[in-house]
Amino acid sequence: MAAILRGSRCLAEKCHNHVNAAQVSIRSMASKTQVGFIGLGNMGNPMAKNLMKHGYPVIASDVFPESCKELRELGAQILDSPADVADKADRIVTMLPSSPNVIDVYTGPNGILKRVKKGSLLIDSSTIDPAVSKEMAVAAEKLGAVFMDAPVSGGVGAATSGKLTFMVGGPEEEFNAAKELLSCMGANVVYCGQVGTGQAAKICNNMLLAIGMIGTAETMNLGIRLGLDPKLLAKILNMSSGRCWSSDTYNPVPGVMEGVPSANNYQGGFGTTLMAKDIPTQSKTPVPLGSLAHQIYRMMCARGYASKDFSSVFQFLREEEGQ
């Protein structure tokens, strides 16, 4: 029923296999209907801008009005609440920090579900508990809307360049409709299964990333202590079997790479608090390294690193050894 009610967006999808000039025109017009976007932080801001670059009129909202300034100047319509956005757009993307934020934005007194239209497509790109995604999907379905979880990987750099990877969970018949929007913000859009599986894929990725970043920071620190030039060591690692994303794309050592948080006193990027939140700890599956990584990032948050990028674990380790 939701797919039928979605109107022009779904008409465009159904025309895919029967292309002629008139249908191409219809699909083009349908694809440019306005899109809601809620959450304009480090990730949401560039994601919304990429939607606008692809010709989508954006209707946005954020709890912090100053976060909306740049998008307003680019021509986005800024509204006061998620409910106001839901009143005007039947396709909405949310990018929020945590499960409680998602619950509030969707089900709170000024939430999306207070004024959501039947047939609306709701795409949540936050990284949250898969159980919360499932709860939101059930609540949306009761109102005739479709909720899909689509967390991302790639960080602020990929969000800015439109190179994110989206891991999508939800009804398979709605995947192409979601992909239409997500492809404007990402290079990879992968269907994972039913609601919650996108989040499952994301927390697995984040646990590996957390472990890998700590390992890279330890290795770089050890090499420096042994007299190696950090740029040389990074070069060797990146042509050897120890190469990983944390070493070749997001190196944690200041001065090794430009355009990463370590080159900017660990400002911007992906906060240590968020990394600590995203590492799964309530699992019956043994995750000894994941649990240790979680403890280290929790300790960093208590030591003043909460708002710094998670690659600041290198600085944390240096301080721990009394440097």
Catalytic annotation, residues: 202
Query: Whole-angstrom Cα distance, residue 135 to residue 123?
Result: 14
- The phi-psi region of residue 12 (left if phi > 0; otherwise alpha if psi is between -120 and 50; otherwise beta) is alpha
Identify the CA nearest to 168 among candidates 158, 178, 177.
178
Alpha carbon 26 to its chain's center: 31
Query: Whole-angstrom Cα distance, residue 81 to residue 116?
Result: 12
| Helix axis angle, 130-142 to 99-107, nearest 10° | 10
- Tokens coding 92: 């909405």
Which amino acid type is present at position 11?
L
Query: Whole-angstrom Cα distance, residue 250 to residue 158?
Result: 12
- Pair type for strands 152-153 and 164-169: antiparallel
**CB-based burial, 2-12: b 16+ in 10 Å, e otherwise:** bbeebeebbeb
The SS3 call for residue 68 is helix
